[in-house]
Amino acid sequence: MQKSIPVVILAGGLGLRMRDYSESLPKALVPIGSMAVIHHVMKIYAHQGFNRFIICLGYRGELIKEYFSNLHLRAPNVKPFTNVGSSDILGSKKDDFEITFVDTGLNTQTGGRIKKIEEFIDTDDFFATYCDSLADMDLNALLEHHKNKNKVATMTVVHPTSPFGMVEVDDGLIKSFKEKPMLPGLINGGFFTFNKKIFDYLDGDSILEEDPLRKLTAEGQLAAYNHNGFWTCMDTHKDVDRLNKLWETRFLPNVGVSFQKVPWKIWDD
């Protein structure tokens, strides 16, 4: 059986925009419902057959390892870790994860973190993402698009949603209200597919989103994959509250109204 391509998750940052949480938890462990946000991200991938994870640790990385090693205490089907060199394996019937933890340093930038896991990439292509982007992504379509484009890198692009409600004005009168509409431009959606040639564009100090992506763009080696479904990222306390509210709706009793679907929850319980 062919093994799935690895998924690199950047989980080493300080989460400075969420300082109240980050003083006690790394951003990856901020909870949405009963699961850490990184766990939600991993389930999106694993549900679609991509269950080999390389987690780039940094700030309070020991807590991320502890979270996954303790899953078996909360879920009987989850087995404790088995040490394999610098890797750890986590297996379960429900969450079939194989995890390699790599300490990529406290202050290392995003590109530098990816550079530091080069030795663990054993396929021509691999996924990479942040620990806090949630979407109803079709990852197989993303991978197929990447292969068809035959470029070094593919970046998912999404339409951002305005953080503010907007009004339409005509002749000095308010004509309509739009509650936080989708904006026309495109932004980095945080779901990447890379060929291993990406390591030629990275060094230990690289910020992925700056020189490496600009150089790839200049060389015509950065493809775009348009995702038109649900996408969000968890940057602020307000985002945490919003995502938890969305998650909690699925537990409300049925009182004659349809349950609200959690937009990024593409897996079965």
DSSP code of 182? B
The confidence score (pLDDT) of residue 160 equals 83
Residue 198 inside a domain? The answer is yes
Query: How far, in Å, CA of 212 to CA of 215, rounded?
Result: 5
What is the strand order of the sheet 125-130 is part of?
82-84, 87-89, 98-103, 52-57, 7-11, 125-130, 187-195, 153-158, 222-226
pLDDT surpassing 70 at residue 215: yes
Look at residue 168 in the predicted model and tell me its pLDDT.
84
Give the percent of the chain with pLDDT over 70. Answer: 80
Whether 258 is covered by a domain: the verdict is no
Average pLDDT over residues 183-200: 94
Average predicted confidence (pLDDT) for the chain: 85
- Is 180 part of any domain? no
- pLDDT for the residue 219: 98
CATH number of the domain bearing residue 222 = 3.90.550.10
- The total of structural domains in the chain comes to 1
Confidence of residue 16 (pLDDT cuts 50, 70, 90): low
Residue 264 located in a structural domain: no
Is residue 38 in some structural domain?
yes
Would you state the structure tokens that stand for residue 167, as one six-digit string?
Answer: 């009004």
**Strand-pair partners of 35:** 32
Give the range of the structural domain holding residue 195, as residue numbers without chain letter.
Answer: 7-157+185-251
Query: CA-CA distance, 199 to 149, in Å (whole number)?
Result: 19
The verdict on residue 245 lying in a domain is yes
Average the pLDDT over each of 26-35, 56-65, 75-84, 206-215 and give the range with the smallest value.
Answer: 75-84
The pLDDT-based confidence of 15 (bands split at 50, 70, 90) is low
Mean pLDDT of 99-124: 96
- At 219-252, the pLDDT tens digits run 999 999 999 999 999 988 889 998 999 898 765 5
**CB-hemisphere CA count at 13 Å for 16?**
1
Structure tokens at 221: 């080696």
Instruction: Tell me 197's DSSP state.
Output: G
Instruction: Encode pLDDT of 127-166 as tens digits.
Output: 999 999 999 999 999 999 999 999 999 999 999 876 677 7
CA 92 – CA 81 distance, rounded (Å): 11
- Of the two residues 194 and 261, the one the predictor is more confident about is 194
Predicted pLDDT of residue 82:
36
Identify the weakest region by mean pLDDT among 52-56, 94-98, 133-137, 224-228.
94-98
pLDDT at 175: 80
For residue 172, tell me if it sits in a domain.
no
Q: How confident is the model at residue 20, as a pLDDT?
A: 63
**pLDDT attached to residue 63:** 93
CA 161 to chain centre: 18
Mean pLDDT of 198-220: 97
12, with CB counted inside 10 A (0-12, 13-18, 19+), is buried
Within a domain: 256: no
pLDDT at 92: 44
